[in-house]
């Protein structure tokens, strides 16, 4: 949520920043609502003070005066109820309007319409070259008997998969590798819930941006535990563990001495992949259910730039440890998303497609989510909203894709990255006879 003071002091900046993200807002109208809210708030405060004054004067009034004071109190009560009702309506109107304003991009983020405006800022290793025609990950996965999408389609439908045998070992090797690395860096490991309330999604900034269209609503789950009554606050399946990690400190005041507070979460993630039909329909690059290891940081309001580079460096170190070629891409405004102020993607080289594909991202959302979720920290005598960052350590499925394709051999076997061999228990995955 945007600070109303920033909106009043820099209305054109907020309007332009929203436009850069493809969102049209009427700042003048929002300020008018804010002015009305302020006016009604003062009126309500005055009437409450008058009501309290009259209540005290009743006990001090003479019998002759008491009736007049009581009548005046009744009039004040009616007027106060009217003003409180009007104030409540205007406050809701203002809250709704503010929730529709996207987080402005950082000043170093390039203005651009869509992904064509993104910039590659560095690369690691040259793309993998083979003396043979590389197979795609699904062909490899089926021949190695480690990925099965056909049986998954019978059970769950399209865009689901069974991971089997060494693919399972690879998954838990990646989890253990990332967890060991991040715990040494001071991150607290978390396995979060994968169902979150609808009002939490609003606090995260996905509801107003239309992002909830890509997430699964669990319509039959009634949080009120009454099967005959619709849920007042229905639940959504998380699209990443970040969705449950960030609101963990909702309505809390952290201590500045405890910051940065860093978490690494592991959980399944669920996406409807709305609007992506026909894209990556085969294999496990774009599926409805996948596992992720996600990082979340809470920092002081002026420390997020430093933390952003730190989280990006972790993502790079993890992929460097796998020796997989990648490039780092900085998003332009049009490809940034509603809550993010700056975002980097790490894209791994996929030999069969002869291009880089996104495998991780890392974003700072500044104080955008902390204002919505009321997450503050105490610094001396004052409290401030925390800055929040999130980043992917490993999106398991896509990382396995990158491993299979970059480490494949001409005979159809796949070399296990050296850093994972102790966890997998072998150096090579070979086709089953």
What is d(CA 200, CA 215) in angstroms, rounded to the nearest whole number?
Answer: 13
With H, G, I as helix, E, B as strand and everything else as coil, classify residue 382. Answer: strand
For the stretch 351-390, pLDDT in tens is 999 999 999 999 999 999 999 999 999 999 999 999 999 9
4-99 CATH fold: Helix Hairpins (1.10.287)
By annotation, the residues acting in catalysis are: 271, 286, 358, 361, 398
**DSSP code string of 332-381:** -GGGS-SS-SEEEEEEEEETTTTEEEEEEEEEE-TTHHHHHHTEEEEETT
What's the pLDDT score for residue 68?
78
What is d(CA 104, CA 229) in angstroms, rounded to the nearest whole number?
Answer: 40
Sheet containing 235-237, strands listed edge to edge, beginning at the edge strand earlier in sequence: 195-197, 235-237, 217-218
For the stretch 281-324, pLDDT in tens is 788 999 999 999 999 999 999 999 999 999 999 999 999 999 99
Give the DSSP H/E element, type plus range, for residue 63: helix 63-99
CA 149 to chain centre: 28
Q: Just give the CATH number of 115-194+238-429.
A: 3.30.930.10
For residues 86 and 40, the answer to whether their CB atoms sit within 8 Å is yes
For the stretch 14-28, pLDDT in tens is 999 999 999 999 999
Confidence bin at 223 (pLDDT 50/70/90): low
Global pTM value: 0.90
The two beta strands, 342-350 and 235-237, are unpaired
What's the N-to-C CA distance of the chain in angstroms?
58
Name 241's Cβ contacts closer than 8 Å, sequence gap at least 6: 190, 192, 194, 265, 266, 267, 269, 292, 293, 294
Domain ranges, ordered by start, for the chain = 4-99, 115-194+238-429
**Measured CA distances, 80 to 3, 59, 200 (Å):** 28, 22, 32
Common-topology check for domains 4-99 and 115-194+238-429:
no
Task: Pull the structure tokens for residue 98.
Answer: 């503010």
For the stretch 163-201, pLDDT in tens is 999 999 999 999 999 999 999 999 999 999 999 998 898
Task: Pull the structure tokens for residue 393.
Answer: 């350590």
Q: Taking 70 as the threshold, does the pLDDT of residue 94 lie above it? A: yes
């Amino acid at each position: 949520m945007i600070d109303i003071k920033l909106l009043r002091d820099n209305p054109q900046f907020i309007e332009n920043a929203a436009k850069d993200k493809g969102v049209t807002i009427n700042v003048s109208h929002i300020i008018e609502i804010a002015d009305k809210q302020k006016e009604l708030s003062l009126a309500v405060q005055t009437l409450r003070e008058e009501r309290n004054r009259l209540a005290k004067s009743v006990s001090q009034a003479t019998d002759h005066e008491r009736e007049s004071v009581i009548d005046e109190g009744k009039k004040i009560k009616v007027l106060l109820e009217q003003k409180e009702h009007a104030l409540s309506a205007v406050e809701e109107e203002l809250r709704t309007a503010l929730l529709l304003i996207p987080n402005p991009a950082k000043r170093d983020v390039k203005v651009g319409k869509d992904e064509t405006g993104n910039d590659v800022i560095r690369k690691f290793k040259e793309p993998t070259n083979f003396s043979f025609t590389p197979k795609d990950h699904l062909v490899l996965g089926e021949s190695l008997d480690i990925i099965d999408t056909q049986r998954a389609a019978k059970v769950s439908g399209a865009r689901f998969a069974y991971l089997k045998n060494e693919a399972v070992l690879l998954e838990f090797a990646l989890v253990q590798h990332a967890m060991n690395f991040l715990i040494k860096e001071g991150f607290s490991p978390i396995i979060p819930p994968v169902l979150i309330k609808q009002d939490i999604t609003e606090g995260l900034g996905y509801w107003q941006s239309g992002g909830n269209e890509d997430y699964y609503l669990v319509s039959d789950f009634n949080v009120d535990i009454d099967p005959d009554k619709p849920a007042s606050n229905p639940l959504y399946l998380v699209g990443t563990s970040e969705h449950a990690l960030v609101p963990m400190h909702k309505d809390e005041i952290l201590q500045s001495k405890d910051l940065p507070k860093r978490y690494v979460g592991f959980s399944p993630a669920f996406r409807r992949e709305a609007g992506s039909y026909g894209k990556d329909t085969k294999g496990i690059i774009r599926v409805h259910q996948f596992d992720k290891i996600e990082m979340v940081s809470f920092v002081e309001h002026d420390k997020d730039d430093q933390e952003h580079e730190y989280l990006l460096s972790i993502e790079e170190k993890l992929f460097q440890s796998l020796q997989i070629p990648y490039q780092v891409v900085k998003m332009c405004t049009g490809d940034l998303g509603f809550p993010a102020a700056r975002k980097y993607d790490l894209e791994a080289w996929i030999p069969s497609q002869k291009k880089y594909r996104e495998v991780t991202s890392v974003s700072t959302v500044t104080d955008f989510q902390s204002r919505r979720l009321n997450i503050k920290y105490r610094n001396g005598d004052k409290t401030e909203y925390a800055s929040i960052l999130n980043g992917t350590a490993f999106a398991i499925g896509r990382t396995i894709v990158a491993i299979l394709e970059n480490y494949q051999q001409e005979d159809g076997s796949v070399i296990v990255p050296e850093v994972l061999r102790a966890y997998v228990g072998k150096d090579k995955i070979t086709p089953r006879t």
